[in-house]
Amino acid sequence: MRADVTEALTRTFFQEWARTGYSGLSLERVARSAGVGKAALYRRWPEKAVMASDLLSRVGLTITDVGEQGSLEDDLKAVLFAIRRVLRHPLVKRIITDLHAEIERTPALERAIRPFQRARRERVDALIDRAIERGEVASSIDRETAADLIAAPLYWRLAVLGGRSDRAHIERLARMLTLALRAGQ
């Protein structure tokens, strides 16, 4: 399969999703807009949920894949900067809010996306593991709540409220999250 065709389909899929929402997304329209035949699309992805899952995992798994920065606060800053970079993209903001609404209405999409979300959560668990190993948080920390807490404030500000987040905000947020995670022991 030609990489340029896959790239055109990928780009068009996300553009269409942002424009129409998941429920209005037509794979035939994606293929036509990408300038390829339907067969080229269906050879790669047999259905919309599979295509969404595959493409989101390609771009999304690396969001929180940051190396060790030396401290919990620095690890959090790196993750928050990575999340911010993604959430600043105009297509991503429109898609991600639609995705969270649609996942409740579309069982096939939910089944396709949950493994991706679990893999992302495992990356956050690795950040928490490093903090435990460095003695920055207790091993008894509530991992689920900690993982929720790490991404939620930035997501809320950028994706839901449409606000801004500059370097000072990320640094302040990382400091506050560090304190909260230490206190949650």
Mean pLDDT check: name the lowest of 21-25, 105-109, 110-114, 155-159.
110-114
Q: Check residue 60 and give its pLDDT.
A: 60
**pTM of the shown model:** 0.80
Evaluate whether 79 touches 64 at the Cβ level (below 8 Å).
Answer: yes
* Alpha helices, DSSP H, located in 134-183: 143-155, 167-183
As a whole number, mean pLDDT of residues 143-156 equals 92
3-state secondary structure 54-66: HHHHHHHCCCCCC
pLDDT digits 0-9 by tens, 50-79 = 898 888 877 765 565 677 778 999 999 999
Q: What angle do CA 98, 104, 105 make, to 5 degrees?
A: 85
Residues of the chain with pLDDT > 70, as a percent, come to 96
Other CB atoms within 10 A of residue 144 CB: 10
The two structure tokens encoding residue 88: 């600043």
pLDDT at 22 over 80: yes
